[in-house]
A and B are shown apart, each in its own frame.
Chain A
């Protein structure tokens, strides 16, 4: 029986397993014993550097980005009552990427390491603030989605404009790297900058979970049940904005994790939007660490970008989920 398997402990164990596997694999294969000594004991300086400075922070960054996108997607799907929603749908990812690209374009990013991440988070917060202001004024979720689409398109157009006008090939390459999405060369310092936003965003989303359950019966019925609709909308948008902005600041634009993880989890939790949140975060983390291991092991001359691989796998899955929907409006 599916429900007999304790889902959350299994996903936590899975997360630990893939993070450990990510430390084993790479251009210098290391046996488990060497990785364990490097992690917890005294090992050769080279091993410690490989594990602590290169592989573990990279894997952890992938996991955190996947988890943030997974929980944001699950919460947005609950709010919008639509399994195709994801952080990208509200234009949050796109606006975050845009501001990061602006920071690169004008050379701010070169001034200090923290400027680009902060720009990305600022972009996400601008997008969420816009959406939040709108959520207070309009009743319709469809309107909210359409504004998100418009915001995405606008950010995409502005991004193309920046690429078009890029002053030199170096900033062009930087911006393209950002748009493709990657966790290569991330350090614990990068993680420390993004983590507080991810954690606070996820915490806000966890607080909304009862309201997400109520929304199963529809917005008006949920309001009748005693849900404060405006507050629920604002909390989900702010929580998803913080978590998504931080994810973009760490890895650039990576799509589809926020759609696929909740979709896979849903049948295991009786389709209750409240119970989808935590497992979606864990599974999103696992998926992105696995994808990043794939990126690192792929025998290509120039490195594959994580966001490209995520999209290559994610887009067909997205189409499949969309095609499977029946009846729902």
Chain B
């Protein structure tokens, strides 16, 4: 059982508060989904929690403060997939996945033993074995997303944070990615994932964290947190909610908040 515990996290830039004293947890074996409108501070909260931007507050993994860890130490305990941008070079799929072993001292040009095993296993899990020697610039969006998942999986960390891993994917590919994350969560991985697709979030989340204007509005089991009122406050949209089934019906003319 591993737990990431974030308390009183506060991120500012140029005097503007981006993340306002928030707290949340990620635990082994569950998928926590972070949702909120654009500019809510979701990505910044993740970066702050990982120590990638200057932040105040306390972030601990099983009681060990992340701020005291080296970058490699942290990366061996928590994998991070930021919103993916373009690759710098037309690298090969296997080499990119192998970068997941970076924190263990491996590199694409020097990979053997346990590292190699981890890469092969991750390629298999993400159905990339046949694509392993392809150039990344020849992959489809779905294949690219699976490659980044494989990169995170082969680090074999107890925790994974993914920022919009299904952005710009068609529904089938989005399901595929979420199914991969779900399988890993059932095997014990603790996952925190940012999503914009509320119906997808409701379907896969064990827990939902709702964030708006730098603050957390609600955090708890999916059924219960995702209510028409909460969605109205978060996005200003009207919705019908029945358990995990959500139907968005339109934009509210009068924002509730």
Interface residues of A, Cβ cutoff 8 Å to B: 78, 81-82, 209-210, 213-218, 220-221, 223-228, 266, 270-275, 327-329
Contacts and interface: CB of A to CB of B under 8 A. Distances in A.
Given A213-B109, A228-B71, A221 B91 contact: no
Contact of A224 (B70, B79, B91, B137): B79
A221 B79 contact: no
A105 to B, nearest CB: 41
Contact of A225 (B86, B102, B135): B102
Given A210-B102, A274-B107, A226 B75 contact: yes
Interface of B: 47, 50, 52, 70-76, 79-82, 84-92, 95-96, 99-100, 102-103, 107-109, 135, 137, 148, 151, 155
A213 B86 contact: no
A223 B72 CA distance: 9
Contacts of A328: 86, 88
A214 B91 CA distance: 11
A273 B89 contact: yes
Contacts of A220: 47, 52, 82
Given A223-B71, A226-B103, A274-B107, 12 more contacts: A78-B88, A209-B107, A213-B95, A214-B102, A214-B107, A217-B148, A225-B102, A226-B75, A270-B91, A273-B88, A327-B137, A329-B85
Contacts, number: 98
Contact of B95 (A82, A225, A270): A270
A272 B100 contact: no
Contacts of B155: 225
Which 3 A-B residue pairs are closest in the complex by CB-CB distance?
A226-B75, A224-B80, A226-B103
Contacts of A216: 87-89, 91, 95-96, 99
B88 A215 contact: yes
Contacts of B73: 226
Nearest to A220: B82
A223 B80 CA distance: 9
Given A213-B108, A213-B109, A270-B91, A327 B102 contact: no
B137 to A, nearest CB: 8
A225 B80 CA distance: 7
Nearest to B107: A210
A27 to B, nearest CB: 44
Contact of B100 (A210, A225, A327, A329): A225
Contact of A214 (B99, B109, B137): B99
A148 to B, nearest CB: 18
B220 to A, nearest CB: 28
B52 A217 contact: no
Contact of A217 (B50, B75, B87): B87
A218 B85 contact: yes
15 contacts: A78-B88, A213-B108, A216-B96, A217-B87, A218-B86, A221-B82, A224-B75, A225-B155, A226-B74, A228-B70, A270-B95, A271-B91, A272-B91, A329-B85, A329-B86
Contacts of B137: 327
Contacts of A217: 84, 87-88, 96, 99, 148, 151
B170 to A, nearest CB: 20
Contacts of A271: 89-92, 135
A82 B87 CA distance: 10
Contacts of A228: 70-71
Contact of B109 (A218, A272, A327): A272
Q: Which of A215, A225, A272, A274 has the most CB of B within 10 A?
A: A225
B76 to A, nearest CB: 7
Nearest to A80: B88
A273 B90 CA distance: 11
B214 to A, nearest CB: 20
A78 B96 CA distance: 15
Contacts of A215: 88
A226 B108 contact: no
A213 B52 CA distance: 19
A274 B76 contact: no
Q: Which of A209, A214, A221, A227 has the most CB of B within 10 A?
A: A221
B11 to A, nearest CB: 14
A223 B70 CA distance: 11
Given A215-B88, A216-B88, A217-B99, A224 B82 contact: yes
A222 to B, nearest CB: 8
B59 to A, nearest CB: 15
A224 B75 CA distance: 6
A163 to B, nearest CB: 38
Contact of B108 (A266, A272, A329): A272
Given A214-B99, A223-B71, A266 B89 contact: yes
B88 A81 contact: yes
Contacts of A210: 102, 107
A275 B74 contact: no
A270 B107 CA distance: 13
A218 B83 CA distance: 10
A266 B92 CA distance: 12
Contacts of B87: 216-218
Nearest to A329: B86
A81 B76 CA distance: 25
